[in-house]
Structure 1
């Protein structure tokens, strides 16, 4: 068994910062696993974790869980995938963030023209649930999400836990399984009434995601607009190429 030495926490922090700088690692890139880093420094994992906790407190690194987990470079931003059904709550947990959700408003309202068209509402059922929620990331405002859900497909939905993931409730209570999403990303001026909610200055720009969710049969079951504080999120997209068939 290799010999373990005791190093002051400040020295381990210094070595981790030096390792990141020498390798020119960018936010989201992996520094290593706890086991590999502890072995490389010749220290115990408990001593390593003290240093990692200090670097986490200053948003320099994050510890991801799961099969591809480990210590990654961080700048305090959530990496948010596009065109994925993975919930924001799961993304945050996987990346080592604490995420909370607060219901701001929920009501039954008349559908507008976009609702009728995008949600394919029958002419005799022109109502939607309008639900607005605030997401907090490690105690700081991350996003304001406004969802519009066809009322005729989800009777009594406002009686559900509206701070929990919607797709889980669609499937568990209504046997409607979210199968795919279409998302678009752009910049927009933050609505004046939401600037203070997001903790940003009046007139600031936000990152806006428009999303439509479809079920197994291809029917739309939700459309939403999510406004993100730009300094707290980074958007990612993964794809693969396929050879065209002759």
Structure 2
């Protein structure tokens, strides 16, 4: 067997076993077959099996008990991803910031690109504060965040503040009001720097999000480019049917409740 095929086969076996564990097909506390049995069942070498199990163990999904075998971890961290409330995004941001850890990778001031200057409504020549952070849940990384804030706003807090406090909370402490946000969701692949920060293989699939937050005046106060591990982060939205017969559509449930309260 070609040595170049081993990592790919190990990745496939890892993803297969991981999906079986997350779906409940392999229940919590179940003892996995031995390495020779797994190798025979899946038509791979024991080296491939060992690599796949090593990855599952590093994710906290299995436990190796010397002399007893390998078991599915009942409290596996990877089975509890962060879930974002898509319809109430600004409240969720502050709550998530308080419940997760953060590692500040870089912090400084840069010139604004024409596109970002237009999106944020910057003054001519105004610089941006740029920060790169990695968020962690139970010590494991799940998001890579690149944030740009107008220089006049960024000067209100320090690098140490950003390393310990959610950015939206810092903005509100400085007297700013985050009234609304424009958000775009997509998908991308992990480059070398992001892959290393999120403990992934280069080229791994990621959720991507670009968000611009605005104050009541209409000027932007934050531009965020975020990349998420899809196994540790997901978006959630409750929907309700609205409109007259023949023109019914799905609408965020929170918006429906708010409209009802306004009547």
- TM-score strictly above 0.5: yes
Task: Give structure 1 stretches of 5+ with no counterpart.
Answer: 1-20, 22-53, 60-73
Map 1:91-130 → 2, pairs under 5 A: 91=96, 99-125=100-126, 127-130=127-130
Which residue does 1:3 correspond to in 2? none
Inter-CA distance 192–226: structure 2 relative to 1 (3 Å threshold): same
Which residue does 1:57 correspond to in 2? 75
Per-residue deviation at 1:115?
Answer: 1.4
In structure 2, how many angstroms separate the alpha carbons of the residues matched to 1:57 and 1:132?
30
Q: Give deviations 1:56-106, integer Å, cap 9, x for gaps.
A: 6235xxxxxxxxxxxxxx93211112251024462487xxxx520111111
Which residue does 1:230 correspond to in 2? 230
In structure 2, how many angstroms separate the alpha carbons of the residues matched to 1:211 and 1:190?
19
Aligned mate of 1:86, from 86, 91, 97? 91
- 1:167–1:177 CA contact under 8 A, matched in 2: no
In structure 2, how many angstroms separate the alpha carbons of the residues matched to 1:113 and 1:131?
19
Per-residue deviation at 1:109?
Answer: 0.6
Which residue does 1:189 correspond to in 2? 189
The secondary structure found in structure 2 opposite 1:124 is coil
In structure 1, how many angstroms separate the alpha carbons of the residues matched to 2:136 and 2:216?
31
- 2:93–2:168 CA contact under 8 A, matched in 1: no
Inter-CA distance 140–116: structure 2 relative to 1 (3 Å threshold): same
Report which of the two has the higher share of helix: 2
Task: Give structure 2 stretches of 5+ with no counterpart.
Answer: 1-23, 25-71, 245-263
Inter-CA distance 100–188: structure 2 relative to 1 (3 Å threshold): same
- 2:86–2:235 CA contact under 8 A, matched in 1: yes
In structure 1, how many angstroms separate the alpha carbons of the residues matched to 2:107 and 2:97?
24
Map 1:96-245 → 2, pairs under 5 A: 99-125=100-126, 127-159=127-159, 161-163=161-163, 164-173=165-174, 175-243=175-243
The secondary structure found in structure 2 opposite 1:85 is helix
Per-residue deviation at 1:111?
Answer: 0.5
Map 1:38-53 → 2, pairs under 5 A: none
Per-residue deviation at 1:243?
Answer: 3.6
Which residue does 1:6 correspond to in 2? none
| Count of aligned positions | 173
Inter-CA distance 108–225: structure 2 relative to 1 (3 Å threshold): same
TM-score normalized by structure 1? Answer: 0.63
The CA RMSD measured in Å over matched residues stands at: 2.7
Per-residue deviation at 1:200?
Answer: 0.5
- 1:79–1:91 CA contact under 8 A, matched in 2: no
Runs of 4+, deviation exceeding 6 Å: none
- 1:99–1:136 CA contact under 8 A, matched in 2: yes
In structure 1, how many angstroms separate the alpha carbons of the residues matched to 2:96 and 2:73?
20
